[in-house]
Amino acid sequence: RKEVEQDPGPFNVPEGATVAFNCTYSNSASQSFFWYRQDCRKEPKLLMSVYSSGNEDGRFTAQLNRASQYISLLIRDSKLSDSATYLCVVFRDDKIIFGKGTRLHILP
């Protein structure tokens, strides 16, 4: 089983819709969690950290469920500029593990 798993997509979603991404991690000792976005042939850019209490930044909401070893990202009122690959990132014992990412296409 991969340490960090994501649905590869692509998700094709009309502009304005709400989209949700899921990520599961296999090691319960994982310590910190993040969502990054990556545009084609560009560097990953930090989107948000993920906390057990859940956190929100504008249209983006991230949630962590340690019991189920599950992380989610919700994007509300999606925009064309949200089209990108969304990467789930897990820290454990000084190791940083990236998921393969979920591709999102927002359709006009």
Partner 1 sequence: EPEVTQTPSHQVTQMGQEVILRCVPISNHLYFYWYRQILGQKVEFLVSFYNNEISEKSEIFDDQFSVERPDGSNFTLKIRSTKLEDSAMYFCASSWEDTYEQYFGPGTRLTVT
Q: What angle do CA 26, 54, 22 make, to 5 degrees?
A: 40
> β-strands 84-92, 70-75: how paired?
unpaired
Q: How far apart are CA 106 and CA 33, in angstroms?
A: 25
Q: How far is the CB of 34 from partner 1 (least distance, A)?
A: 7
Between 40 and 67, CB nearer to partner 1: 40
Backbone dihedral angles phi then psi of residue 17, each to the nearest 5 degrees: -80, 170
User: Tokens 């992380």, residue?
Assistant: 71
Using CB under 8 A as the criterion, what x/- string covers residues 22-61 for binding partner 1? ---------xx-x---x--xxxxxx--x------------
Q: How far is the CB of 24 from partner 1 (least distance, A)?
A: 15
99 binds partner 1 (CB under 8 A): yes
List residues binding partner 1 (CB under 8 A): 31-32, 34, 38, 41-46, 49, 87, 91, 94-101
